[in-house]
């Protein structure tokens, strides 16, 4: 009766055993002869080997059926090799399981890293926003300190005309700081044409800010002595408008009378037309003409 080890009962195992037996049997011959060319295991060679295995299987079956059992004792090297293959297979399975666990850990770490990256980005955005707010607060505090500081009476350029020009440019872009610069002109250069023009522009800034009462004082300071500068005629009309806005109609009409007497002759047609419109709006009495 044919007795085969469990590891050799399949066809593939039998092929492996026969290959090892053939190699073991030919070791002595190969050692005494020239080295053989390596076998090229192409499709045809594998099919031929498969047919030879089938013939061996049939021969073994026929001998078993005829009562002539074939007992095949595996070579010790084959048994040892089989054991090593089993151990290697077990180790490969362990490595595969370990690799799967590592892959799972890597996926979790990748997910956590993505979450950390998103959290860091959000924190970075909040930090930048906080820094921007702090800078804005610091700038606002610095500006507030500048606006509340005492007005300087020292000329920044040493020349009234240049001081006035610089203040006018600043008022066009920053009315609050320009207001302070114009006040510096009035303090640094009193009793000058530049100081009077600065007062007129300060009155305009007050009107723009809705402070018509404050504008009256600056317009009056600008017109002190009735200057003959080009801006004086229009400033008289601004003074009249500010007075009327503060329920000082009589004084507003008086200012319009001063305009007629002092500036109407040299004023432009547009300025004269505005003066007539204001007189009608304020319901001022008709001006007396010299007889």
**DSSP class per residue in 8-24:** GSSHHHHHHHHHHHHHH
Neighbour tally for 231: CB within 10 Å: 16
The answer as to whether 247 is a domain residue is: yes
Average pLDDT, the chain: 83
The answer as to whether 288 is a domain residue is: no
Q: What's the rounded Cα separation, in Å, for the pair 100 and 117?
A: 25
Q: What's the rounded Cα separation, in Å, for the pair 275 and 216?
A: 17
Q: Which of 2-11, 36-45, 83-92, 195-204 has the lowest mean pLDDT?
A: 2-11
Q: What percent of the chain has pLDDT over 90?
A: 45
Which residue carries 């595969």 as its tokens?
Answer: 96
The answer as to whether 176 is a domain residue is: yes
pLDDT tens sequence across 65-86:
887 776 666 667 767 777 888 8
How far does the chain reach from its first CA to its final CA, in angstroms? 161
Helix (H, G, I), strand (E, B) or coil at 151: coil
Which residue carries 């319901």 as its tokens?
Answer: 283
pLDDT tens sequence across 127-160:
898 888 888 888 888 778 777 788 888 999 999 9
Mean pLDDT of 270-281: 94
Q: What's the rounded Cα separation, in Å, for the pair 243 and 284?
A: 13
Number of domains in the chain: 2
Residue 273: pLDDT band (50, 70, 90) is very high
Predicted confidence at residue 138, as pLDDT, reads 85
Q: Model-level pTM? A: 0.55
- Side-chain half-sphere CA neighbours of 214 within 13 A: 12
Predicted confidence at residue 276, as pLDDT, reads 94
Asked whether residue 97 carries a pLDDT value surpassing 50, the answer given is yes
Predicted confidence at residue 15, as pLDDT, reads 47
Question: Following DSSP, what letter does each residue of 17-85 receive, concatenated?
Answer: HHHHHHHHHTHHHHHHSPPPPPP---HHHHHHHHHHHHHHHHHHHHHHHTT-----PPPHHHHHHHHHH
pLDDT tens sequence across 20-47:
444 444 444 444 555 566 666 678 877 8
- The larger pLDDT score, comparing residue 27 to residue 54, is at 54
Q: For position 211, which CATH number holds?
A: 1.25.40.10
Mean pLDDT of 52-76: 77
Q: What's the rounded Cα separation, in Å, for the pair 212 and 201?
A: 13
Q: Which two tokens stand for residue 203?
A: 């009155």
| Domain around 226 | 160-282
Q: Which two tokens stand for residue 54?
A: 């089938």
The answer as to whether 154 is a domain residue is: no
Asked whether residue 11 carries a pLDDT value surpassing 90, the answer given is no
Q: Which two tokens stand for residue 273?
A: 């037309």
Judge residue 233's burial from the number of C-beta atoms within 10 Å of its C-beta, 0-12 exposed, 13-18 middle, 19 or more buried.
buried
Asked whether residue 7 carries a pLDDT value surpassing 60, the answer given is no
Q: Which of 200, 208, 256, 269 is nearest to 231 (CA)?
A: 200
The answer as to whether 123 is a domain residue is: no
Residue 274: pLDDT band (50, 70, 90) is very high
The answer as to whether 102 is a domain residue is: no
Asked whether residue 244 carries a pLDDT value surpassing 70, the answer given is yes
Question: Following DSSP, what letter does each residue of 95-120 receive, concatenated?
Answer: HHHHHHHHHHHHHHHHHHHHHHHHHH
Neighbour tally for 215: CB within 10 Å: 26
Q: Which two tokens stand for residue 238?
A: 């601004």
Q: What's the rounded Cα separation, in Å, for the pair 180 and 198?
A: 11
Residue 8: pLDDT band (50, 70, 90) is very low
pLDDT tens sequence across 165-195:
999 999 999 999 999 999 999 999 998 999 9
Q: What's the rounded Cα separation, in Å, for the pair 45 and 243?
A: 119
The answer as to whether 58 is a domain residue is: yes
Q: What percent of the chain has pLDDT over 70?
A: 82
Q: What's the rounded Cα separation, in Å, for the pair 171 and 198?
A: 11
- The larger pLDDT score, comparing residue 244 to residue 59, is at 244
The answer as to whether 181 is a domain residue is: yes
């Amino acid at each position: 009766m044919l007795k085969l080890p469990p590891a050799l009962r399949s066809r593939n195992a039998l092929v492996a055993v026969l290959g090892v037996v053939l190699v073991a049997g030919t070791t002595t011959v190969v050692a005494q002869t020239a080295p053989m060319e390596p076998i090229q295991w192409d499709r045809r060679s594998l099919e031929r080997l498969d047919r030879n295995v089938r013939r061996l299987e049939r021969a073994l079956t026929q001998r078993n059926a005829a009562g002539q059992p074939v007992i095949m004792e595996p070579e010790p090297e084959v048994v040892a090799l089989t054991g090593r293959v089993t151990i290697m297979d077990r180790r490969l399975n362990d490595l595969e399981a370990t690799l799967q666990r590592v892959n799972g850990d890597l996926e979790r770490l990748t997910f956590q890293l993505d979450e950390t990256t998103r959290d860091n980005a959000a924190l970075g955005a909040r930090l930048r926003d906080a820094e921007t707010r702090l800078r804005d607060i610091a700038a606002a505090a610095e500006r507030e300190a500048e606006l509340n500081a005492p007005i300087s009476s020292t000329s920044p350029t040493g020349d009234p005309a240049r001081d006035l020009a610089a203040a006018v440019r600043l008022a066009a872009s920053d009315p609050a700081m320009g207001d302070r610069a114009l006040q510096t002109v009035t303090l640094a250069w009193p009793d000058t044409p530049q100081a009077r023009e600065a007062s007129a522009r300060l009155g305009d800034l007050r009107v723009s800010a809705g402070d018509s009462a404050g504008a009256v004082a600056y317009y009056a300071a600008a017109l002190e002595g009735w200057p003959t500068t080009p801006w004086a005629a229009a400033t008289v009309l601004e003074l009249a408008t500010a007075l009327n806005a503060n329920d000082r109609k009589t004084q507003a009409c008086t200012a319009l009378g001063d305009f007629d007497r002092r500036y109407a002759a040299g004023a432009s047609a547009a300025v004269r037309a505005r003066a007539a419109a204001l007189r009608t709006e304020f319901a001022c009495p008709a001006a007396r003409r010299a007889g």
